Amino acid sequence: MSMDSFRYKPPKPNYLPHNVDVDEPIVEDFYKPLGSVTDLENATYFNKIKRAAQTYNITRPKGYNVSFHTNPEMEKHHFGQTHPMKPWRLTLTKSLVTSYGMSFAMDNYVARAATYEELNMFHSNDYLDYLGTAPAEDTPRDVDTDKEVKYNLGGSDCPLFYGLYDYCSMSAGGSLDAARKICAKQSDIAVSWGGGLHHAKRSEASGFCYINDIVLAILQLLRCFPRVLYIDIDVHHGDGVEEAFFSTDRVMTVSFHKYQPEVFFPGTGGLEDNGPKSEHNPGAHHAINVPLNDGITDEQYEWLFQSIIGQVNERFRPSAIALQCGADSLAGDRLGRFNLQVQGHAACVNFCKKLGIPMIIFGGGGYTPRNVARAWAFETAIAIDCQDKIDPVIPMHTPWRDHFHHETLFPTLEQILGEPRANKNTQKRLQDMVQHVTEQLRFVNFAPSVQYKTIPPDLGGIRDDVEARLKEESEEKNDRLRRTREEGVGIAMEL
Ligand SMILES: [Zn+2]
């Protein structure tokens, strides 16, 4: 038994869009493109992406290792016709990543779903039990009038859709897998675009998030690293993660977001909110919030990000980074209100990568799928250091290429928005915020004094048992699949 059973090499069975094999119409919007794909089509696609990798000279990055964690089953779920969250954006992202041939430069894992025990490391039993047993509902309940809404589940934000528990455990499974690979030093950068669900609370769903995979992954990192820096560039405040690590000095959270309490979700994350007010609480000064107004530009965002994260890195000296890359901060997002382009968003990833610290990159929000896919594919390129090699023109063989509207990875603001949004962020205000952060950081003890005083409980034996059992099951399944494939086409499907 080896770790290879967890590793897939393109093409994977069902590597291209595949049959939906459940009763419910999980993917409605894109039901047609998700129709059947033959082995021959899979093999043809594989040859094209292999050629793309050669054309762009995509090779494994030098001196470090990148892993990519997905679960194709997760992508089939559907929150409801009018809900902004479309898990299909993950399919579109992967479509770009593979079409450029980037998969050849990374370790690609299909992560197993997280177990109940693993979710229980952060979430309460009551909440998980309800999440696992509440029946799916066709239409969301009216939260204001229906008193039956429990744990904020079943309303229009967090509907009880078909397959919800599986969806959540798969999302968490990807991020936990990423954390395990970082802890085991098998990866230096681990990418989990299916994670990043930063609003979920211990016993409550919130803002399209049910299970906080980031918190679970950071708990895992804390077993191996003394200090973890959490950075959040989603357009919304990373409230769930901030709250989870509110009282510890082993995690510092930094969130850049639109802030307009009363009208913009979740309404928390003001500049003065820097953790517990009591100096006796170790978490004091370990939460940093950068509240922004509509219309911020690439140039301003990059300057702010680098000024703040640069200082935080100097002072806090993180031993690992958890970077949430919510793509709703991009211009043209269905919910977001910034003027950020792929280049500005991705500059944050590049800056963090250059710090040379082990890092997990999470997804998060992002409600215009073509923009999400562009950003996350380009950020994957940065992770494997091929951002300067790839052609901005989206490869011709990319599935759903038409869906991107413009054939470049970097459409202009005019192409995305028609007219850019008015920028309500003055340079003076941004400078004041950097100044405020500088002052907060003076209160943060210089890094080496941090001790391992609150090591999260170890799942030890339980986890190893579960791991071994699941591995066995997965191997059996893989064997069966491989046999079927080989009989079917007679083409060697391995690299
Ligand atoms: Zn968001």
The larger pLDDT score, comparing residue 164 to residue 21, is at 164
Please enumerate in sequence order all residues whose Cβ is within 8 A of that of 455, keeping only pairs 6 or more positions apart, or say none. 222, 223
pLDDT digits (tens, 9 = 90+) for 468-489: 665 666 666 555 544 433 333 3
Name the token pair of 40.
Answer: 């021959």
Cα separation of 353 and 381, whole Å?
Answer: 12
- Report residue 172's pLDDT band, with 50, 70 and 90 as the boundaries: very high
| Cα 410 to averaged position of ligand 1 atoms, centre (Å) | 21
Cα 232 to ligand 1 centroid, rounded to whole Å: 10
CB 115 within 8 A of CB 195: no
More confident: 162 or 209: 209
Chain centroid, CA 393 distance in Å: 25
Binding site members for a divalent metal cation: 234, 236, 328
Distance 210 CA to ligand 1 centre (A): 14
Q: Which residue has tokens 């869906």?
A: 403
Task: Say if CB 213 and CB 193 are below 8 A apart.
Answer: no
CA atoms within 13 A on the CB side of 119: 28
Between 204 and 155, name the one with better pLDDT.
204
On the question of pLDDT at 202 being above 50, the answer is yes
CA of residue 483 to ligand 1 center, whole Å: 42
How far is ligand 1, taken at its centre, from the CA of residue 290, in Å? Answer: 15
Task: Provide the annotated binding site.
Answer: 157, 207, 234, 236, 328, 367
Tens-digit pLDDT profile for residues 297-349: 999 999 999 999 999 999 999 999 999 999 999 999 999 999 999 999 999 99
- Give the total residue count for the chain: 495
Q: Which positions are annotated as active-site residues? A: 199
Model pLDDT for residues 360-419, shown as the tens digit of each residue = 999 999 999 999 999 999 999 999 999 999 999 999 999 889 999 999 999 999 999 988
What's the CA-to-centroid distance between 194 and ligand 1, angstroms? 14
Say if CB 216 and CB 119 are below 8 A apart: yes
In angstroms, rounded to a whole number, what is the distance separating the alpha carbons of residues 36 and 17?
A: 7
Task: Indicate the pTM of the whole model.
Answer: 0.86
Residue 441: left (phi > 0), alpha (psi -120 to 50), or beta? alpha
Which residues place a Cβ less than 5 A from the ion ligand 1? 234, 236, 326, 328, 365
Task: Output the CA 445–ligand 1 centroid distance in Å.
Answer: 31
| CA 367 – ligand 1 centroid, Å | 9
- The least confident of 18-27, 232-241, 306-315, 364-373 is 18-27
Instruction: State the amino acid at position 60 in one-letter form.
Output: R
Torsion, CA 321, CA 170, CA 19, CA 395, rounded to 10: 0
The rounded Å distance from CA 245 to ligand 1 centre is 19
Say if residue 6's pLDDT is above 50.
no
pLDDT in the model for residue 471: 63
pLDDT recorded at residue 474: 61
Residue 38's pLDDT is what?
A: 77
3-state secondary structure of 292: strand
Distance (Å, whole) CA 378 – CA 41: 26
Range 482-486, long-range pairs (CB < 8 A, 24+ positions): 485/13, 485/39
C-alpha of residue 196 to centroid of ligand 1, in Å:
10
Q: Which of 30-34, 191-195, 323-327 has the lowest mean pLDDT?
A: 30-34
